[in-house]
Amino acid sequence: RLLGAVVEGQIIFDGAKIGGEDSNALSMDGIVLKGGLSCSDGFFSRGEVRLVGANIGGEVSFARARIESLTKVALDMTRSTMNGSLFFIDNFKAVGEVRLVSAFVASNVEFKSAHLDGAGHRALRMDGLTVKGYLICKDDFSANGEVRLAGASVGSMVDFSGAKMRGDNSNALNM
């Protein structure tokens, strides 16, 4: 738990395996991180990863990571600010909803070769997301559950070319 912590550098959880008895495996709500955050290269979480209201000064990477929710939400970055790019790439996998509701990304958001399974719920919720650069969900991107972008703002392009999406009792893509 790093709730409300202030970190002058970066945090690297590459290759870490985390999980617990409750639904939250990693809680960093309200963290102020001057550098970047890397949860990559075999990072595995059995339980929700929370970054609600986080302020991250650099890039955030979930490359080659897997998050399995014990409840509905796998990753919650609601109202977070990222001053770099946000990467869910290279076979990133999530079981449970990935939430970027009302988040701000100063650069780009990439879901390249990412696989999202909402487990009967939304797969990806980006309501009110602001991205100053581009948003791409391609190169073998797949989502089992609704991908929702209601009220999202993207400064450059949005690219879902080649994406495979299937909605569970709802739309596959809701913009």
What is the chain's pLDDT, residue by residue, as a tens digit (175 residues)?
788 889 999 999 999 999 866 688 999 999 999 999 999 999 999 999 999 999 999 999 999 999 999 789 999 999 999 999 999 999 999 999 999 999 999 999 999 999 999 998 999 999 999 999 999 999 999 999 999 999 999 999 999 999 999 987 778 988 8
pLDDT on residue 145: 95
* Phi, psi angles (nearest 5°) of residue 63: -70, 130
pLDDT at 22 (0 to 100): 66
pLDDT of residue 2: 84
Largest CA distance in the chain: 44
Give the C-alpha separation, 101 to 16, whole Å: 26
pTM of the model: 0.95
Question: What span, in angstroms and rounded, lies between the C-alpha atoms of 133 and 123?
Answer: 22
Residues facing residue 81 across a β-bridge = 55, 104
Q: State the pLDDT at residue 3.
A: 84
How far apart, in whole angstroms, are the C-alpha atoms of residue 97 and residue 5? Answer: 25
* Cα distances (Å, whole numbers) of residue 1 to 23, 59, 115: 13, 21, 27
Order of all β-strands in the sheet with 158-159: 11-12, 37-38, 60-61, 86-87, 109-112, 135-138, 158-159
Confirm if 60 and 36 have CB atoms less than 8 A apart. yes
List the structure tokens of 139.
Answer: 């190169």
CA 140, CA 67: separation in Å to the nearest integer?
18
Give the chain's end-to-end CA distance (angstroms, integer). Answer: 34
